[in-house]
Amino acid sequence: MKTKPLQAHITATYIMLRYGMAALAIALPFLLVIGGFLLAELPWQASMSAYYHAGNGAMRDGFVGILFALGVFLMLYKGLTFFENGALNLAGFLLLIVALVPMTWDCGNACPRFSWHGAAAVVFFLAIAYVCIFRAKDTLPLIDDPATEKRFARAYDILGGCMLASPAIAFVVKWLLPPQQGKGSIVFFIEAAGVIIFGIYWIVKSCEIGKTHAEQEAVEGRLYIDPYRLTDVFRPIKIERVREQDREDPLRSKKSSHGS
């Protein structure tokens, strides 16, 4: 087998993993509503998490299974930097908590204000928003067209902003209009929008990497990441292409990148 096709085959794992997460996330709210109605004639519920309990747990396996799969995929996906990888691992771990620690149910006015389920969901959105706004842009300088680079940067800012807004708006709506158990609520749509935006992020990221071929170039040893510190957590991290004459000598490449 030729070298390049083999490298493309290897990097296809990342592509399929991203599109797989996007498909699962986008499908989840539709699966809950349609599956709940078909299996148990469930009406539209007050939140996505309510489907864990509603109808004697008719959609519990689907809810937990998809969240669990997304959490594991996020932890298996390796970010290009320590910061991105750490944020994705944290987000994946938090999704496991969301899946395995259900929301309180049938407690009326006695429901506690704090729950690990809700806290994990909020911090999950914050972690993904951090990846969208700060880490997704690290590879944008590899795009040759400045206009295309700006479009992707704007898209990441919008997606990250929506990820931040989703739990905040849901909290305000719950406070102003407490959802009634077993009845539909705008909170469901806000949560669903956040999950779908999460899926859209992975589609956009795949499109961006498709333009730069960053993963394949990394496999071929053609990318170099500048050294960074913990203080750079909210700063751009420089990822650049290694010059052809420096590919055989990474130390030389490091020196040339700092000297240019």
pLDDT tens by residue, 199-234: 999 999 999 999 988 888 888 888 989 899 999 999
**Residue 191 contacts by C-beta under 8 Å, 6 or more apart in sequence?**
29, 47, 48, 49, 166, 170
> pLDDT tens-digit profile of 130-169?
999 999 999 999 999 999 999 999 999 999 999 999 999 9
Distance (Å, whole) CA 226 – CA 163: 29
Q: Residue ranges of the domains in the chain?
A: 3-101+113-215, 221-260
Is the backbone of residue 108 left (phi > 0), alpha (psi -120 to 50) or beta?
left
Identify the pLDDT of residue 178.
Answer: 67
**Residue 226 contacts by C-beta under 8 Å, 6 or more apart in sequence?**
237, 238, 239, 240, 257
Identify the pLDDT of residue 260.
Answer: 40
> Are the C-beta atoms of residues 58 and 42 closer than 8 Å to each other?
yes
CA distances to 18, 64, 81, 186, 211 from 73, in Å: 9, 14, 17, 29, 23
Retrieve residue 198's tokens.
């999460």
Neighbouring C-alpha atoms within 13 Å toward the C-beta of 54: 26
User: What's the CA dihedral at 22, 23, 25, 31 to 10 degrees?
Assistant: 170
pLDDT tens for the chain, 260 residues long, are 455 567 777 788 899 999 999 999 999 999 999 999 999 999 999 899 999 999 999 999 999 999 999 999 999 999 999 999 999 999 999 999 999 999 888 776 667 777 899 999 999 999 999 999 999 999 999 999 999 999 999 999 999 999 999 999 988 887 777 666 655 688 899 999 999 999 999 999 999 999 988 888 888 888 989 899 999 999 999 898 886 555 555 554 444 444 44
